[in-house]
A and B are shown apart, each in its own frame.
Chain A
Amino acid sequence: MGIVSIDGWTVTQWDAIEGFKNGLHLFTLDELQEVAINNTEESQDVTGAGGSILNSNKRNKGCNGTGTNGLLSGGLMEVQTGGKQTTKDIVILQKDTITVTADMASANKVSITKTPTGTAGAEIQYVYVKGATEVVTTYQQAVDAGEGKFAYDNKEITFAASAIAEGNVVTVYYNVKLTDDTGVKITNDASKYSTECELVYTGLAKNACGKEACFQFSVPRADFTGNFNLEMGDSQTTHSFEWTALKNKCSTSNNFWDFIIFPDED
């Protein structure tokens, strides 16, 4: 049986939001926690004698959407920041905390866990040594170890004689380059801005007689803003978003959106 009217239907489930750019799939948000689609229009009264309303001028029609996905979406972040995800040339910060053993103290050396990347001679830059009195001494990287200086080579940090003692805690921060395709990065470039894409909301609807059907809510031009929050509180970090529908001038229909209910059958 076909569906010939929206009357009597209610949306019972928002399944997902799919994002596309010229047919290319950008993201799927399928852990939706909050969804809102707001439609707006302003009207200005045209008044006559005694202020009686004769007519109204309507303008500023618009539509915008907001929502929250329970999981982070890289594709959505690309649209919101204008950035691109990459799995190449990723550099992360590594922190090593090393408790000095008797052997390390006698050799005046400690080993770090990974190979640092960066400017030769400044791969580590500073090292912090907490002594027995809890006083933290900062050492600066130099070509050779000396007073207040340490040398680095091949995952080994060398101090001057007697600079470190057993039980001291050495803290080292340095950058490590990940092997390609072992991590992913998205960059929020200050010179790039959020972009637009086509959105299709999908889900289920039910009518008063208990009949279920699918719905699709399509926005040909959803212009995302760069306003989104990554927050942590009582629950996990969620991914919020907001967009404004743009008039689809490229189409003859000028649609902000289409709302379709259809039976899930061949």
Chain B
Amino acid sequence: MLKRCGVCNKEFEPCNQCPSGGYAWRKTVCCVEHSVPFLAILEYKRNLKSKDEAMEILNKYTDIEYNDDVKKIVDEILFVPVAESVESEIDEADEPVSKPRSRKKS
């Protein structure tokens, strides 16, 4: 049974017989490269990684087209309130608004 990659839209044949030791990526993602952002997203979702930690990893994988299952979480990781990044330029009374930080391509 084909499975959709946990990161992108590619379908792949999952394998439960991956050698032990290391991350058995064939159970979750289509290629070994996608295992890194996948774990970052998963660990962020499970509160095992902070937003900044997850963002640092995802910013290294700017050419991935994330699937709809994770896109919302990815956006949540990569978007930060403007107030946080340009704090000094915003009037204290202004409501913070969101804008993407350093994401080159979705």
Residues of chain A at the chain B interface (Cβ within 8 Å)? 118-122, 125, 140, 142-144, 146, 149, 151, 153-154
Contact = CB atoms under 8 A, between A and B. Distances in A.
A140 B46 contact: no
A142 B24 contact: no
A185 to B, nearest CB: 15
Given A119-B23, A119-B24, A125-B27, A144 B39 contact: no
Contacts of A149: 69
Contacts of A154: 46
A121 B18 CA distance: 15
**Which of B14, B39, B42 is most buried by chain A, counting CB atoms within 10 A of its CB?**
B42
Given A143-B69, A143-B70, A149-B69, A121 B42 contact: yes
Contacts of B25: 119
Contacts of B41: 143
16 contacts: A119-B23, A119-B28, A120-B28, A120-B42, A121-B28, A121-B42, A125-B14, A142-B70, A143-B41, A143-B42, A143-B70, A144-B45, A144-B73, A146-B69, A151-B45, A154-B46
Given A121-B6, A122-B24, A122-B27, A142 B69 contact: yes
Contacts of A125: 14, 27
B44 to A, nearest CB: 9
B60 interface: no
B39 A121 contact: yes
Contacts, number: 49
Contact-residue bracket for chain B: 20 to 34
Interface of B: 3, 6, 14, 18, 23-25, 27-28, 38-39, 41-43, 45-46, 68-70, 72-73
A144 B6 contact: no
A118 B18 CA distance: 11
A140 B45 contact: no
Nearest to B68: A146
B21 to A, nearest CB: 12
Contacts of B43: 120
Nearest to A154: B46
A120 B24 CA distance: 9
Contacts of A143: 6, 38, 41-42, 45, 69-70, 73
A144 B42 CA distance: 9
Contacts of B42: 120-121, 143
A153 B70 contact: no
Contacts of A151: 45
